[in-house]
Structure 1
Amino acid sequence: MRISIWPGAGQPWSDIVEAARHAEVSGWDGVWIADHFMPNAGPGRDVTAPTLEAGSLVAGLAAAVPRVRIGTLVYGNTYRHPAVVANMAATVDQISGGRFTLGVGAGWQVNEHQQYGIDLPPTRQLLDRFVEALQVLHGLLRTPKTTFDGEYYQLTDALCEPKPIQDPLPIMIGAKGEKRMLGVVAEYADQWNTWGLPEVIAHKSAVLDRFCAERGRDPKSIARTAQALVVVDGPLPEGLPMPIIGGTPAKLADAIAEYRAVGLDELIIPDGLLGTGAEKLKHMDTILSLVRA
């Protein structure tokens, strides 16, 4: 099972690159960056906290950190035209020497759309637009020219050059919906990502397998990735609406073993509960030792 770190974009660049470089030299597999412009609105959250932009961060990391894979977790489709995203992805893959994974999702965070005047359509239209965007991405990144006449996107003999170094550049879809979105994953993704504890991942992975069977696709061709908040050594915080694992190294080791047992290909660790500075790096070393044990 691969292990990757997810540095929060709400911290200074110096802290992000420190964590990424530590991951690189100590033996982690990847570094992921979320795509948000501000914290999500919610109780106890400072929605004015500074947040660095994802596309710029992955390009910077691709140049600054020479070994690990770099990826977006995940680009919100509503924020950028997919043709722009395709060119961004191809460029980062060139900068990284072929180490970029393009993570994409439909888009969801309300306050970002409200503040920037970006349309956040109803769910059906949102997903219809996302499916068209995936077709555009596949075309631009994997074929010489792309002509596409959709309801939301239209391209005519469109180029994306230079192409990524990787052929194909892997596309990861962030999705949890069992009615439609996991079917979209089965149709278009090389990798799948969602939040969840092992039992949730096992259930949704089985749903994804069924969608793959309906489409005649080998389910093993889609890598399974997931994340949960991690506490290495200390009390688990209460009241957070997110999956959390750990509390002690022994409990964390048990959770890692459960993820491995349900067939997870990559566990992604957000750094939000790992502390700062030397404490964070020490906790990263503990996590890595448990995964490699």
Structure 2
Amino acid sequence: MEIGVGLDQGLGLSWDQYRELGRFAADLGYQSIWTNAGNGRDATHICAQWSVATAEVVPGGIGTGISVLPIGYWSAPSLASCAATVGEISGGRFVLGVGSGSLHAPAFRHALGLPSNLRPVGTMREWLVTLRALLAGETVEHEGRALTLHGVQLGIKPPKVPVVLGALGPKMLALAGEASDGASLNWCTPEQVAASRAIVAEGARAAGRDPGEVTMTEYIRICVDDDVDAARRALVKALMGYALVWPGMDKALGYRGHFGRMGFDEALTELEERRARGASDDELIDAFPTELAQQVGYFGPASGAAAAFHRLAEGLDTAIVRVVAARPEPESITAVMEACRPAQPPSRP
């Protein structure tokens, strides 16, 4: 199993800190370093910076990746061009993760001027087919509901850039097996990882593919601090942003549906009802079930982090330590990285 580290853009790092922490990750023995993506700093550029910085520590640098980039902000050719560039810079050590983001939400489609008839699974199938073809150096002819490309190709053929799919529900997981290089999971219990792998494998076999060709990757949130309550509050705050649904949204979709399938619907419904009655975020954090948070992440002393991480990573091909900082200071970030450092030291140039 590959062990990577994930640095959320929400950590507010400077470019110097990105490079410094990249070198620190390589020095600790991490095999890859990952970022999330949105409509802010360009995640492909962050990965390129990491590739160059980590090459100062290990020959060629460690792997980099995006997990995941919501496709609504991009066109397929422009994203393929950026990914190909990082693939070249990294010498084939870059993984592009893409996902549907909030494509299921009418407000998201409206904000970006996307057609109202787009559906997440069909849209992602078109993106996977066209992105993988462009990155393989092919000339793409495609006319669909989400994308239309006629005779489009990249001006370069990079080293292989795996394209992995952010997947939670059964249909998206099956699509990952059918048409991507891997499935990128998030906020999973070990049981959910196993169930997801089975669905991905079934999708691969249905498409005539070897399930062993489709990797399984996941962010595993870790927050360490000697003040256990401070660590708990930071992890739960991060978790609530995914797990709770706002009024008017379908609880069966997106992350809320994901947590419901794992058996957490009753607890989350109670929290949503509290919020509707006027509970503050702090009150919700206090009321959030500790056992739920512990089933999908870790908070507490550094001494317990590695064991919890490996328990949650069971069944994965790449497990990513997604850093949750207990405090707004660099030491909170490096404490997580040190607590979960891989057993093997890096090679030296």
**TM-score scaled by length of structure 1:** 0.82
Partner of 1:100: 94
User: Partner amino acid for 2:47?
Assistant: V
User: Partner amino acid for 2:220?
Assistant: A
Give the conservation status (yes or no) of the 8 Å contact 1:8–1:16: no
Give the conservation status (yes or no) of the 8 Å contact 2:219–2:320: yes
Partner of 1:244: 297
Q: Which runs of 4+ in 1 moved over 6 A?
A: 109-112
Give the conservation status (yes or no) of the 8 Å contact 1:141–1:160: yes
Task: Confirm or deny that 1:220 pairs with 2:212.
Answer: yes
Report SS of the residue matched to 2:8: coil
Partner of 2:185: 194
Identity %: 26
User: Partner amino acid for 1:144?
Assistant: E
Partner of 1:229: 221
Distance 1:258 1:52 in 2: 33
Greater relative CO (CA pairs within 8 A, separation 6+):
2
Task: Confirm or deny that 1:147 pairs with 2:141.
Answer: yes
Structure 2 unmatched ranges of 5 or more:
56-60, 243-295
Distance 1:201 1:124, change over 3 A: farther
Partner of 1:266: 318
Partner of 2:112: 118
Partner of 1:42: none
User: Partner amino acid for 1:4?
Assistant: G
Give the conservation status (yes or no) of the 8 Å contact 2:28–2:338: yes
Partner of 1:20: 22
Task: Confirm or deny that 1:64 pairs with 2:58.
Answer: no
Distance 1:149 1:225, change over 3 A: same
Distance 1:285 1:111 in 2: 42
Structure 1 unmatched ranges of 5 or more:
38-50
Task: Confirm or deny that 1:74 pairs with 2:68.
Answer: yes
**Range with bigger deviation, 63-72 or 22-31:** 63-72
What pairs up with 1:154-165 in 2 under 5 angstroms? 154-165=148-159
Report SS of the residue matched to 1:162: coil
Report SS of the residue matched to 1:151: coil
Distance 1:36 1:99, change over 3 A: same
Distance 1:209 1:148 in 2: 27
Partner of 1:257: 310
CA RMSD of aligned residues (A): 2.7
Distance 2:339 2:165 in 1: 29
Distance 2:23 2:69 in 1: 23
Deviation of the 1:95 alpha carbon: 1.5
Deviation of the 1:123 alpha carbon: 8.3
User: Partner amino acid for 2:15?
Assistant: W
Give the number of aligned pairs: 274
Distance 1:212 1:131 in 2: 14
Distance 2:153 2:167 in 1: 28
Give the conservation status (yes or no) of the 8 Å contact 1:182–1:207: yes
Task: Confirm or deny that 1:283 pairs with 2:339.
Answer: no
Give the conservation status (yes or no) of the 8 Å contact 2:29–2:344: no
**Range with bigger deviation, 15-24 or 71-80:** 15-24
User: Partner amino acid for 1:247?
Assistant: G
Distance 1:217 1:35 in 2: 29
Distance 1:32 1:111 in 2: 29
**Deviation digits for residues 177-198 of structure 1, max 9, x if unmatched?**
11x1011101112121111132
Distance 1:65 1:113, change over 3 A: farther
Report SS of the residue matched to 1:74: strand
**Deviation digits for residues 14-55 of structure 1, max 9, x if unmatched?**
222222110112210111111113xxxxxxxxxxxxx53323
User: Partner amino acid for 1:263?
Assistant: G
Report SS of the residue matched to 1:83: helix
Give the conservation status (yes or no) of the 8 Å contact 1:245–1:252: yes
Give the conservation status (yes or no) of the 8 Å contact 2:222–2:309: no
Partner of 1:177: 169
Distance 1:249 1:282, change over 3 A: closer
Give the conservation status (yes or no) of the 8 Å contact 1:120–1:126: no
User: Partner amino acid for 2:181?
Assistant: D
**TM-score scaled by length of structure 2:** 0.70
**Deviation digits for residues 262-289 of structure 1, max 9, x if unmatched?**
3211111222226532443243122115
Distance 1:274 1:101 in 2: 28
Pick the structure with greater CA Rg.
2
